[in-house]
Amino acid sequence: MKRLLLLPIFLFLFHSCIPLRIAPDIEDYKVSKGKKFKRGLPKRQMFIFEDHKDAYCFYNFINTKFDLKHKNVHDDVPFEVDGKTFFFSFYEVGINSKPLTEISTLFDIAYNAALVVGGFEPIFADDDEDAVINEHWYITIEVYNDTEKDCLSMDSLSREAVLKYLHALKNEYTSTYNHNEVVFKN
């Protein structure tokens, strides 16, 4: 009886997806070290929020809002808070959620080798590529000025004012349908 139950349990466990990496779910925004969030980002504290819009929408929004004419849009974008000039750089970062599905593929190969003479017919593995990888996009923003290298660090004097500005910028970006709407709002 135990051996009879062992086979269905074994197949169920190895047919299911085991998550290797899960993309974070950010409700509003998060402040975290860039390198901790995604390898390849700077070590500074970053303002991070999830981007549900198409690729380059944030780029177009920043370019239009600050009238940059496609020059230095990613780096050194100047803005003012409380009469002080700050600069920000942003990165559009994609993080995948990846489940472990190779075990299902191995079962398919073994099954097809044992029973089917020609061709490969997936039974356990999922054919849908979207089910395997779910890509989530995030906007990460670092802020600095002439006196502080990291204006979002905990000991920064301008942290609260800068966070308030970035939160308002994020809300403006998420509420606009088209980046050209920014011209009419200003």
Give pLDDT, residue 135: 80
Confidence of residue 96 (pLDDT cuts 50, 70, 90): confident
Confidence of residue 155 (pLDDT cuts 50, 70, 90): very high
Digit-coded pLDDT (tens) for 52-93: 998 889 999 999 999 999 998 999 999 999 999 999 999 999
Give pLDDT, residue 101: 58
Give pLDDT, residue 129: 47
Other CB atoms within a 10 A radius of the CB of residue 21 amount to 10
Say how far apart CA 75 and CA 87 lie, in whole Å.
8
Give SS3 for 90.
strand
Confidence of residue 25 (pLDDT cuts 50, 70, 90): confident
Enumerate residues 6+ apart whose C-beta is below 8 A from 22: 97
pTM of the predicted structure, to 2 decimals: 0.73
Digit-coded pLDDT (tens) for 130-146: 444 568 899 999 999 99
Helices (H) and strands (E) in the chain, counts: 7, 6
Give pLDDT, residue 132: 46
- DSSP letters, 161-179, are HHHHHHHHHHHHHHH-SST
